């Protein structure tokens, strides 16, 4: 019984457990299957990188303060962050990699940098 390649449907020669006739077909098949997931991940990572750059620009030192309006104006997306740090007092800091922010009363946001 001959097997056919999952990508190009040519006959496969060689091992009985082979699924593809060549590395090209294997890569092309897997790229086609993962295309949607890759786009979603790529777009999310680009938005996270943009958030990090905004925080890095506004917080060149260890701590500073800014407004939500300024972050919004620069295109900051508050729904995307990489981790949450909760203090013993229950205060929640949202981090984008090593840059974090703490929403304060009113329109203010405290910016912090996690030491490495």
8 domain-assigned: no
Kindly write down the DSSP assignment for every residue of 74-107, as one continuous string: TT--TT--SEEEE-TT--EEEEETTEEEEE-STT
- Report pLDDT for 25: 94
Q: What is the pLDDT of residue 1?
A: 58
Using an 8 Å Cβ cutoff, are 51 and 98 in contact?
A: no
Q: Give pLDDT < 50 ranges for the chain.
A: none
Residue 89, in any domain of the structure: yes
- Residue 2 in any domain: the answer is no
Tally of domains in the chain:
1
pTM over 0.95: no
Domain of 82 in residue numbering reads as: 23-113
Asked whether residue 66 is domain-assigned, the answer is yes
Tokens of 97: 């990699």
């Amino acid at each position: 019984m001959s097997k056919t390649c999952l990508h190009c449907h040519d006959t496969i020669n060689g091992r009985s457990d082979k699924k593809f006739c060549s590395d090209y077909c294997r890569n092309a098949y897997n790229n086609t299957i993962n295309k949607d997931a890759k786009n979603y991940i790529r777009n999310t990572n680009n938005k996270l990188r943009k958030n990090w750059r905004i925080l890095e620009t506004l917080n060149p030192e260890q701590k500073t303060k800014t407004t939500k309006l300024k972050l919004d104006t620069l295109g900051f997306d508050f729904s995307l962050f990489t981790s949450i740090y909760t203090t013993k007092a229950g205060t929640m800091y949202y981090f984008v990699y090593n840059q974090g922010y703490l929403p304060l009363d009113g329109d203010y946001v405290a910016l912090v940098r996690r030491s490495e």
